[in-house]
Amino acid sequence: MIIIDGPARTSTGTLEIAKHADLLIQPTGASRADLVPAVKEFNALVKAEINKKKLLFVLNHIGSPAEAEIAFDYLKETGYSYLSIALPEKVSFRSIQNEGKAITQITYKTLRRKVKKLIESILDYV
């Protein structure tokens, strides 16, 4: 598995990565300011003949379960796949990353379980 944090636009590099990848995960927030460009990116990849089944949205920085549901409803209408789990907006996630650690290394058990569930959901999707 290789994880690449690429640009949020369809460049030649992004398209080349997409052609060789088995799965492209696009994290996105719940606002339309995040969702609309994210969907446009996937639309551009599909237009460039990338298989739609290789494209997966993951919601993060979510403020509440209600906000997640609104975003899930929007994503459902796009026809793209998305995980039904969303990571909440938490200062502790940013703090752990500021220390150079992964969110899987967070000390809070509830958040660590949520991250584990997210990873398991990605593996189930694959």
On whether residue 119 sits in a domain, the answer given is: no
The pLDDT score that the predictor gives to residue 17 is: 82
On whether residue 22 sits in a domain, the answer given is: yes
Mean pLDDT over each residue of the chain, to the nearest integer: 90
Once rounded to an integer, what is the mean pLDDT over residues 105-112?
Answer: 94
Q: What is the pLDDT of residues 28-83, one digit of tens each?
A: 999 999 999 999 999 999 999 999 999 999 999 999 999 999 999 999 999 999 99
On whether residue 76 sits in a domain, the answer given is: yes
Range of the domain at 49: 12-89
On whether residue 103 sits in a domain, the answer given is: no
| Total domain count, the chain | 1
Please indicate whether residue 11 or residue 30 has the higher confidence score (pLDDT). 30
pLDDT-derived band at 14 (thresholds 50, 70, 90) equals: confident
Task: Kindly provide the b/e burial profile for residues 1-38, where b requires at least 16 CB atoms within 10 angstroms of the residue's own CB.
Answer: eeeeeeeeebeeebeeebeeeeebbbebbbeeebbeeb
Q: What's the helix, strand, coil split of the chain in %, to 5? A: 55, 15, 30
* CA 80/CA 125 separation, integer angstroms: 13
* CA 28/CA 125 separation, integer angstroms: 18
Once rounded to an integer, what is the mean pLDDT over residues 111-117?
Answer: 94
On whether residue 69 sits in a domain, the answer given is: yes
Amino acid at 112: R
* CA 3/CA 24 separation, integer angstroms: 9
Query: For residue 78, what are the contacts with CB-CB under 8 A and spacing of at least 6?
Result: 39, 42
- Helices (H), strands (E): how many in the chain? 5, 3
Phi, then psi, of 47 in degrees rounded to 5: -60, -30
On whether residue 26 sits in a domain, the answer given is: yes
Q: What is the pLDDT of residues 91-100, one digit of tens each?
A: 999 999 999 9
On whether residue 27 sits in a domain, the answer given is: yes
pLDDT-derived band at 18 (thresholds 50, 70, 90) equals: confident
pTM, two decimal places: 0.88
